[in-house]
Structure 1
Amino acid sequence: MLTQQDLQNKLIAQIPDLHNVIITDTSNGCGQSFDIVVVSNTFQGKNKLQRCRLVNNALKEEVAQIHAFSCKCFTMEEWSKVVA
């Protein structure tokens, strides 16, 4: 079973300039459905599809093991406007 910590550790290792990661297990703890927010300036100049592909590639093995996966990707500037 995958945990939020497993996903976070993999993202920290794979996504450069990672500022923040918010992982929510939406399967009530059974590790089969996750919503992820990734904040990194690596996403600068990339569209939404390119950003999600970076995250999906980083979590390729993990995503294959779960039922549902959603990610939202922001630069630090974009994130500061979301949380303001």
Structure 2
Amino acid sequence: MLACKRSLTGTMLSALRGLRSNQVVVSGRVQQRCLSTHTDGEARIRNVLKEKFPLAASLKVVDISGGCGAMYEIHIESSEFKGKRTIQQHQLVNQALKEEIQGMHGLRIFTDIPKD
């Protein structure tokens, strides 16, 4: 049993190393995976947020539902959040995405103010 656990742990570690190095092992072959591919939903949400938060220093939108558009994770850093509590920052993002949110299952929002 212990040998099985060690083997499984080794397999999981190898998989994690592959993810960190931007590689995927398919049938024993190492292939590069493309992390720059964005879904239409990600692009649409990114465009809305760029328009609503033109001072955003950083913006990242990721479809975390496997590409089906049901759930997104948003990381946005903008000076427009200065002086606002976290809940107020999230409300601004929710308001900006009011139309898009109607078709979603869930949304994770991470906001921050740029460090000077």
TM-score category of the 2 structures, normalised to the smaller one: 0.7 to 0.9
1:42 match: 80
What are the superposed Cα offsets for residues 41-82 of structure 1, whole Å, 9 maximum, x if unpaired? 0011110000000100000000111111010100111xx8xx
Q: Which structure ranks higher in relative contact order (CA pairs < 8 Å, sequence separation ≥ 6)?
A: 1
Number of equivalent positions: 78
> Quick check: 1:30 aligned with 2:68?
yes
Could you say which structure has the larger radius of gyration?
2
Structure 1 segment 1-84 matched on structure 2, within 5 A: 3-77=41-115
Question: Percent sequence identity over matched residues?
Answer: 29
Runs of 4+ residues deviating >2 angstroms: none
Task: Provide the TM-score with structure 1 as the length reference.
Answer: 0.86
- State how far apart, in whole Å, the 1-side matches of 2:49 and 2:100 are: 11
TM (norm. structure 2) is: 0.63
